[in-house]
Structure 1
Amino acid sequence: MLTFIIRRLVLAVPTLLFISLVLFLLLDLAPGDPMAQMPLTIPDEVKQKMREALGLGEPVHIRYFKWLYQFFVVEPGYFLDWLFGTNMMEGTQRVVSWQFRSPVFDIIVQRLPQTLWVVALAYAVGVIIAIPIGIISAYRQYSVFDQAGTLISMIGFSVPPFFSGVVVIVIFAVKLEWLPSIYDTTHVVRDWESFKVQLMQMIMPVMVLALQTTAQISRYMRSAMLDNLNQDYVRTARAKGLSEWSVVMVHVLRNSMIPVVTVIALGIPSIFGGAIITEQVFKVNGIGQLLITAIQANDIPMVQTITFIFAVLIVFFNLIADVLYGVLDPRIRYD
């Protein structure tokens, strides 16, 4: 297993380098000028000096390698300085946002907790609900519960977040007045009362994101369970006198989780994509809204960094899924 992990980590390096190169070139060649939003009264020579200060006067390959160095060396160095209380990276040039005139990673770290409050809880709720639904739907195939689960899944697949978000706002915030319609990102949790306020404003965005997660994972879980319930080893386990609970929840569930693990692991980065729309609907001042504002302001360093972070997450969780295969199924060996 250790050899496999090392081999996959080595393979991930050229994969991420290729993704970073394509991403950098696409955004660099995209139309737009960071000086376009500057007042027209600013002389052209001043704008040219501002471009040079942003590093736009250098060749493309130089800017690309500087960006890679800052992403993989400078920013991790600043994190280690913060972790151990040192100042080894003090004064080192960092990737600066054109829009905010501040280091990109500092802005991302400020916005990240707001996104994690919503995304992490939504994904956890979605997985916790989806797995039992998939198990029961498969065990009681074509029952009323299975039909209801199928209906909910079709709704989750069919309704996009920007529509379901507006619907829950109209129902629970406007009509019933149970929940706040706008997410207050300035709210700070200090005691039990402030925690309840935070929980109330998280219900609707979490509900919208968890609906898609539940719909997807429950269908995969049901399909995998149905494939394994009719296998020979299940009939053998029942013939040996094992209880139905032991047959389903130990033997069948463990084998069925192998394909579902891939969906769960690779779904973690993809849910951030859903958070981009959800944060716009509920005014959550997180990573998704930061990406949208960066695109609108033509803030290329911010867009490059956030998009590449998503790519790193996909590669990382793909590795985790492969490792979990060996844990769930002893027959799988990588060495």
Structure 2
Amino acid sequence: MLTFTIRRLVLSIPTLLLISLVIFLLLELAPGDPTAAQPLTIPPEVRERLREALGLGEPLHVRFVKWIVQFFWVEPQVLIDHVFGTTFSEGKQRLISWQTRSPIMDIVVQRMPQTLWVVGLSYVVGVLIALPIGILSAYRQYSIFDQIGTFVSMLGFSVPTFFTGVLLIVIFSVHLGWFPSIYDTTLVVNSWDNFLAQLRQMVMPVFVLALFNAAQISRFMRASMLDNLNQDYVRTARAKGLSERVVVLVHVLRNSMMPVVTVIALGVPQVFGGAIITEQVFKVNGIGQLLITAIQANDLPMVQTLTFIFAVLIVLFNLIADVLYGVLDPRIRYD
């Protein structure tokens, strides 16, 4: 297992480099100019100096190498400084946002807690709801519980989150007045009242995203359980006198988690990426809203960095899913 993990980590380096090159070229070749928002009365020579100040006067390959070095060497030091209070990145050249003229990683660190509070909690809640629903729906196939679970799952997966979010706002904010319709990102949880206020403003966005996540995962869980409930090893385990709970929750569930682990692991990067639509509906000042704002402002460094962060997380959690396969199924050996 250790050899496989090291081999995959080494192979991920050229993969990430190729992904970074594709992201960089696509965004560089996209139409738009960072000085387009400036007044038209600015002389061409001043506009050109602005472009050079943003680093656009250098050749394409030089800018790509500088961006890669900053992303893999300088920005991790910035993140360590934020977490542990060190000064490794002091005095080093940083990735700067064209829109705000601020270091990109500083903005990401400021926005990340809001995203993790809302999107992260909704993903955990969705997984905790989806797994038991999928297991019971498969074990009691075609029962009333299975039919209700199927209907709710299809509804949650089919209805877009922007419609569900607006519907909840109309019902619970406008008519009933139970929850706030706008997420207050300036709220500091330093008392019991502020903690309750934080919970109240998280209820609707968390429910919207949890419903969507649970609908998808529960369907995978149900289908995987049904595939394993009719296998020969299940009949053998029952013939040996094992209790039904042990057969289902130990033998069947462990083998059924294989495809579900992939779905859950690949969904984790979405947590860090934020829920772009839901954050827009509830005005959550998170990573998703930051990406939309950067795209609208043609802030290429911010868009490149955020997009590549998502790519790194996807590659990382693909590796984690492969490692978990060997943990869940003893028959899988990578070495």
Return the TM-score normalized by structure 2.
0.97
- Residue 66 and residue 139 in structure 1: after superposition, are their counterparts in 2 closer, same or farther (change >3 A)? same
List per-residue Cα deviations over 1:267-312 (Å, max 9, x = no partner). Answer: 1123556601100000001101110110000000000011111111
Are residues 1:330 and 2:330 paired?
A: yes
Residues of 2 paired with 1:47 and 1:261: CA distance? 51
With 314-323 and 83-92 compared, the bigger mean Cα shift is at 83-92
Residues of 1 paired with 2:125 and 2:231: CA distance? 31
**1:81 Cα offset (Å):** 4.1
For 1:287, the equivalent position in structure 2 comes to 287
For 2:168, the equivalent position in structure 1 comes to 168
Write the mapping of 1:89-168 to structure 2, written as runs, cut at 5 A: 89-168=89-168
**1:316 Cα offset (Å):** 0.6
Residues of 2 paired with 1:86 and 1:251: CA distance? 48
Residues of 2 paired with 1:271 and 1:107: CA distance? 17
Write the mapping of 1:178-217 to structure 2, written as runs, cut at 5 A: 178-217=178-217
Return the TM-score normalized by structure 1.
0.97
For 2:5, the equivalent position in structure 1 comes to 5
Residues of 2 paired with 1:88 and 1:45: CA distance? 38
- Residue 223 and residue 37 in structure 1: after superposition, are their counterparts in 2 closer, same or farther (change >3 A)? same
Checking the alignment, whether the CA contact within 8 Å between 1:224 and 1:256 is kept in structure 2 is yes
SS of 1:200's equivalent?
helix
- Residue 192 and residue 290 in structure 1: after superposition, are their counterparts in 2 closer, same or farther (change >3 A)? same
Identity, in percent, stands at 75
With 174-183 and 275-284 compared, the bigger mean Cα shift is at 174-183
Which sections of structure 2, spanning at least 5 residues, go unmatched? none
Residues of 1 paired with 2:249 and 2:188: CA distance? 41
**1:47 Cα offset (Å):** 1.6
Residues of 2 paired with 1:77 and 1:274: CA distance? 23
Checking the alignment, whether the CA contact within 8 Å between 2:220 and 2:260 is kept in structure 1 is yes
With 70-79 and 302-311 compared, the bigger mean Cα shift is at 70-79
**1:178 Cα offset (Å):** 1.0
For 2:298, the equivalent position in structure 1 comes to 298
| AA of the residue aligned to 2:162 | F
**1:89 Cα offset (Å):** 2.9
Q: What number of residue pairs does the alignment pair up?
A: 335
**1:191 Cα offset (Å):** 1.7
List per-residue Cα deviations over 1:84-125 (Å, max 9, x = no partner). Answer: 554343221111000000111111111111111001100000
For 1:69, the equivalent position in structure 2 comes to 69
SS of 2:65's equivalent?
helix
| AA of the residue aligned to 1:202 | M
With 263-272 and 103-112 compared, the bigger mean Cα shift is at 263-272
For 1:264, the equivalent position in structure 2 comes to 264
Checking the alignment, whether the CA contact within 8 Å between 1:209 and 1:271 is kept in structure 2 is no
| AA of the residue aligned to 2:179 | L
Residues of 2 paired with 1:3 and 1:98: CA distance? 43
Residues of 2 paired with 1:34 and 1:124: CA distance? 39
List per-residue Cα deviations over 1:229-278 (Å, max 9, x = no partner). Answer: 11111111111111111111111111101111000000112355660110
Which sections of structure 1, spanning at least 5 residues, go unmatched? none
Residues of 1 paired with 2:209 and 2:4: CA distance? 34
Checking the alignment, whether the CA contact within 8 Å between 1:217 and 1:264 is kept in structure 2 is yes
Residues of 2 paired with 1:244 and 1:191: CA distance? 47
RMSD of the TM alignment (CA)? 1.2
Residues of 2 paired with 1:55 and 1:48: CA distance? 11
Residues of 1 paired with 2:95 and 2:42: CA distance? 25
Residues of 1 paired with 2:274 and 2:156: CA distance? 12
